[in-house]
Amino acid sequence: MKIMLYNWNMLVNILVAIIGILIFLFIFWKRLKEDYASEIIFQSAVFILVGIAVANLLTLRISTNSFFWSSLVGALLGLSLSILRFRIKFYESLEALIIAGLPWLGLVFLENSVTTQSLSSFLAFLAILIMVFVSYWLDTHYKGFTWYKSGRIGFAGIATASIIFLTRAGLAIRGVAMISLVGRFEAVISGAMAFCGFVLLYNLGRSEK
């Protein structure tokens, strides 16, 4: 029985990974297709996916809850290599990465909530789903914000990521137990990332197009 359950969970994990990657590739391509050739976009996406895979292989044996941070580090390293290799723009590609990664992250939480019957994972899935809608609302309306003078691309993705990190920091401070939260250090790390996000938004708002 345990073997059958393990095989079923493994099958679900693989299916979620495939669906998540396909969604990621499509959204990442759609966000950048007007400025870059498809070959450059998909090669950049491969760099990101390889970075995620390598980072997870190196860290998941240490802690299964580290998948969020290991995936983030791997994705950012892959994106950095793409920026250096293909000269793609930082803010545009970072926003594409964030917005394309949200549905995949949501699927991971949904899968965990089903396989482990975890209420916290299901609530995390709902929160990510809300953030997906928030990111698209911001992407549609950010140019109408009078205080966002530059009007440059990147606001929606970075603002959404900052909100997510700020929320994670708040949950960690309250001692909420959830997959992807890395204990007492979560509040510090997420708080620092939220601060970095707001600094990026400030610089983006001041810069010229």
Q: What would the pLDDT profile of 30-72 be if each residue is shown by its tens digit? A: 999 999 999 999 999 999 999 999 998 888 777 666 888 899 9
pLDDT at residue 161, as a whole number: 96
pLDDT bin (cut points 50, 70, 90) of residue 7 is low
The residues, ordered by sequence, that sit 6+ positions from 150 with a Cβ below 8 Å of its Cβ are 204, 205, 206, 207, 208, 209
Give me the long-range contacts of 48-54 (CB less than 8 A, separation at least 24).
48/74, 48/75, 48/78, 48/79, 48/82, 48/97, 49/21, 49/24, 49/78, 50/74, 50/78, 51/75, 51/76, 51/77, 51/78, 51/79, 51/81, 52/78
Q: Would you say residue 160 has pLDDT above 90?
A: yes
pLDDT of 1 > 70? The answer is no
Q: Please tell me the predicted confidence (pLDDT) of residue 174.
A: 80
Question: What is the pLDDT at residue 44?
Answer: 96
Helix (H) or strand (E) holding 189: helix 186-206
Distance between CA atoms of residues 66 and 69, nearest Å:
6
pLDDT at residue 184 in the model: 74
For range 77-92, the mean pLDDT: 94
Q: What pLDDT is attached to residue 117?
A: 83
**Mean pLDDT over residues 158-162, rounded?**
95
The 10s digit of each residue's pLDDT in 100-134 is: 999 999 999 998 888 888 888 898 899 999 999 99
59: which 2 tokens?
A: 């860290």
| Inter-residue contact 36 to 13 (CB < 8 Å) | no
Residue 5 in this model has a pLDDT that exceeds 80? no
pLDDT averaged over every residue in the chain: 87
